[in-house]
């Protein structure tokens, strides 16, 4: 439901990447520190999902002196709202510098409030809100029904780096985010140079804050354990559809407009009962399809609009919200909700279970649930460990023809490296197929309800931890409610990808 602001904003975005919303609702998570939320919700293996945080950090110091937050409060309007409005000294009009760096939505249960303030410090809303941005064509402005807004101010927090929950690395007492460190600063420049060279130039990547050599070394070892399976999955897909591009169009459907993406996301959130808990950011500046991060304490789902397809979008939402978000929320209630607790209870790393489970949920109800993306990521990482950038680009051409898509996969596999003429990889993208196959191997013995309810735990720890866990009022996604149907679709994934139990038992 849209409400008009004081000025025309239909073609502008409402919040830019430096802004944030902290949601205050019945399931309140806003009382938690942003550090705890970052640990839980940031899904680092998914993408360059430090996009929002890196922009936020760059702008913070330049804006901290020039920006301020104004409070704006009111009561319900009566028949003559103007009479009471002027008498309330608390009602102040927020100044509204608006930029167009992206589109932000906050999907809420209650009547909408149109946010027109763009400030560097976060604003905490005392009531549920709805935020809409660019990409929406509004009808002529109505002359009546003046709307009032409820605002309250919060002190400006210090900016924090988002980091991957599964790592928890600590260097010299500082939280370290490897995905921030391995994001090249000259990506577009090197892409242009690479394409101009007719794919013969090996990019030389630069980094603002390079990762420590020891950290890169830890993530530079590629595995060939499931290489045969990854190749077979992709070949099966090509046998049926001819090319990846045809597979994408036939099974993914058409690309969605921002308005339709918003509609699908809202519908899914209503289905899961989490409407109003997550800010949604639409962008084209993301290497993956989506990512779940925390921006100044608020769970934020970033969606790449250039890859949002009609029949794949709900799978992405099952991945990001139904898996990452719900397991993160449930983890807050458990004795192992901190690194001290994880160490005390001797928990295994939550990956590859976390990303494997999320990746299964991405394809769960597809007509042809080919594990194409996980397979290609696994294969590309292994080949990157053996090849230069140019060689890798040429090699994956056997599976993907589109040069831009190939570039994206090669960058993912080579990120963190400066001289890409040398063999070397960033190996974390192998976690998807690794996790999928491990879960499928033990699918008949895994309690998937508990695996979600226990939070960020490995499937290997479920039986040992269930006696210690808090299981009341845990959040379980709707698609896990029908266990029989869920298991049937796991069998279909096995069948379509020609995976056998004997094969998986031999491998795992």
For the stretch 445-485, pLDDT in tens is 999 999 999 999 999 999 999 999 998 989 999 999 999 99
**pLDDT score of 102:** 57
pLDDT digits (tens, 9 = 90+) for 214-228: 777 888 899 999 999
Helix (H) or strand (E) holding 282: strand 279-283
183 Cβ contact list (under 8 Å, min separation 6) = 48, 50, 54, 207, 415
Asked, as a colleague might, if the bond just before 352 is cis with ω within 30 of 0, I would say yes
Reported confidence tier of residue 141, pLDDT bands at 50, 70, 90 = very low
Q: What is the mean pLDDT of residues 342-368?
A: 97
- Ranges 103-107, 281-285, 376-380: which has the least confidence: 103-107
Res. 439: pLDDT tops 70? yes
Q: What is the mean pLDDT of residues 114-124?
A: 36
CA 328 to chain centre: 13
Q: What is the mean pLDDT of residues 2-11?
A: 42
**pLDDT score of 47:** 38
Instruction: Please state the length of the chain.
Output: 508
Reported confidence tier of residue 209, pLDDT bands at 50, 70, 90 = confident
What's the CA gap between 214 and 268, in Å, rounded? 41
- Ranges 129-138, 262-271, 320-329, 350-359: which has the least confidence: 129-138
For all residues of the chain together, what is the average pLDDT?
76
Res. 72: pLDDT tops 90? no
End-to-end C-alpha distance for the chain, whole angstroms = 51
What's the CA gap between 28 and 124, in Å, rounded? 12
Looking at residue 59, the DSSP 8-state letter turns out to be H
Judge whether 15 and 296 are in contact, CB under 8 Å: no
**pLDDT score of 94:** 35
**pLDDT score of 247:** 94
**pLDDT score of 213:** 77
Reported confidence tier of residue 329, pLDDT bands at 50, 70, 90 = very high
**pLDDT score of 217:** 80
- Show the 3-state SS of 399-457: CCCCHHHHHHHHHHHHCCCCECCCCCCCHHHHHHHHHHHHHHHCCCCCCHHHHHHCCCC
Reported confidence tier of residue 157, pLDDT bands at 50, 70, 90 = very low
pLDDT digits (tens, 9 = 90+) for 21-42: 333 444 445 445 555 555 555 5
Instruction: Give catalytic residues, as residue numbers.
Output: 320
The whole-model pTM stands at: 0.70
**pLDDT score of 325:** 96
pLDDT digits (tens, 9 = 90+) for 237-269: 999 999 999 999 999 999 999 999 999 999 999
What's the CA gap between 138 and 220, in Å, rounded? 50
- Ranges 57-61, 342-346, 499-503: which has the least confidence: 57-61
Q: What is the mean pLDDT of residues 90-116?
A: 41
pLDDT digits (tens, 9 = 90+) for 281-297: 999 887 788 999 888 88
Res. 5: pLDDT tops 60? no
| Beta-bridge mates of residue 304 | 283
**pLDDT score of 246:** 94
- Ranges 141-155, 290-304, 355-369: which has the least confidence: 141-155
Reported confidence tier of residue 181, pLDDT bands at 50, 70, 90 = confident
Token pair of 44 as six digits: 């680092």
- Using alpha carbons only, how large is the chain's radius of gyration in Å? 23
Res. 134: pLDDT tops 80? no
CA 78 to chain centre: 42
Burial group, residue 281, by CB count within 10 angstroms (0-12, 13-18, 19+): buried
Q: What is the mean pLDDT of residues 47-67?
A: 45
Judge whether 341 and 456 are in contact, CB under 8 Å: no
Reported confidence tier of residue 69, pLDDT bands at 50, 70, 90 = very low
């Amino acid at each position: 439901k849209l409400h008009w602001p004081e000025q025309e904003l239909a073609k502008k975005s409402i919040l830019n990447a430096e802004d944030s919303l902290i949601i205050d609702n019945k399931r309140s998570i806003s009382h938690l520190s942003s550090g705890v939320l970052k640990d839980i919700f940031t899904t680092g293996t998914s993408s360059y999902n430090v996009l929002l945080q890196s922009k936020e950090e760059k702008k913070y110091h330049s804006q901290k002196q020039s920006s301020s937050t104004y409070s704006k409060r009111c009561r319900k309007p009566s028949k003559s709202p103007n009479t009471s409005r002027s008498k309330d000294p608390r009602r102040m009009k927020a100044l509204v510098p608006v930029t167009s760096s992206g589109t932000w939505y906050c999907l809420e249960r209650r009547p909408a409030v149109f946010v027109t303030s763009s400030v560097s410090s976060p604003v905490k809303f005392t009531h549920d809100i709805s935020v809409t941005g660019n990409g929406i064509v509004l009808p002529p402005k109505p002359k009546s029904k003046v709307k009032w807004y409820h605002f309250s101010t919060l002190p400006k927090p210090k900016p924090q780096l988002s980091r991957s929950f599964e790592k928890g690395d600590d260097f010299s007492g500082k939280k370290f985010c490897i995905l921030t460190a391995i994001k090249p600063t000259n990506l577009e420049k090197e892409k242009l140079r690479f394409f101009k060279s007719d794919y013969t130039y090996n990019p030389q990547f630069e980094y603002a804050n390079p990762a420590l050599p020891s950290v890169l070394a830890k993530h530079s070892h590629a595995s060939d354990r499931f290489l045969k399976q990854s190749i077979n999955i992709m070949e099966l897909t090509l046998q049926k559809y001819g090319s990846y591009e045809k597979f994408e169009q036939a099974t993914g459907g058409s690309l969605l407009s921002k308005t339709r993406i918003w509609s699908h996301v809202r519908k899914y959130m209503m289905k899961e009962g989490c409407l109003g808990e997550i800010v949604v950011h639409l962008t084209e500046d993301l290497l993956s399809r989506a990512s779940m991060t925390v921006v100044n304490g608020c769970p934020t789902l970033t969606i790449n609009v250039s890859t949002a397809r009609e029949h794949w979008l709900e799978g992405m939402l099952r991945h990001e919200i139904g898996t990452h978000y719900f397991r993160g929320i449930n983890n807050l209630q458990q004795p192992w909700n901190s690194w001290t607790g994880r160490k005390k209870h001797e928990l295994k790393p939550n990956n590859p279970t976390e990303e494997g489970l999320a990746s299964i949920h991405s394809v769960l109800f597809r007509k042809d649930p080919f594990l194409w993306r996980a397979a290609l990521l696994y294969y590309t990482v292994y080949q990157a460990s053996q090849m230069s950038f140019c060689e890798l680009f040429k090699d994956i051409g056997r599976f993907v023809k589109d040069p831009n898509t190939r570039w994206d996969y090669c960058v993912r596999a080579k990120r963190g490296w400066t001289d890409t003429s040398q063999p070397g990889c960033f190996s974390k993208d192998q976690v998807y197929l690794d996790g999928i196959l491990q879960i499928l191997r033990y699918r008949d013995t895994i309690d998937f309800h508990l695996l979600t309810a226990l939070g960020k735990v490995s499937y290997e720890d479920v039986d040992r931890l269930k006696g210690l866990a808090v299981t009341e009022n845990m959040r379980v996604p709707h698609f896990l409610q029908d266990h029989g149907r869920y298991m049937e679709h796991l069998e279909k994934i096995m069948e379509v990808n020609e995976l056998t139990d004997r094969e998986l038992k031999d491998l795992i």
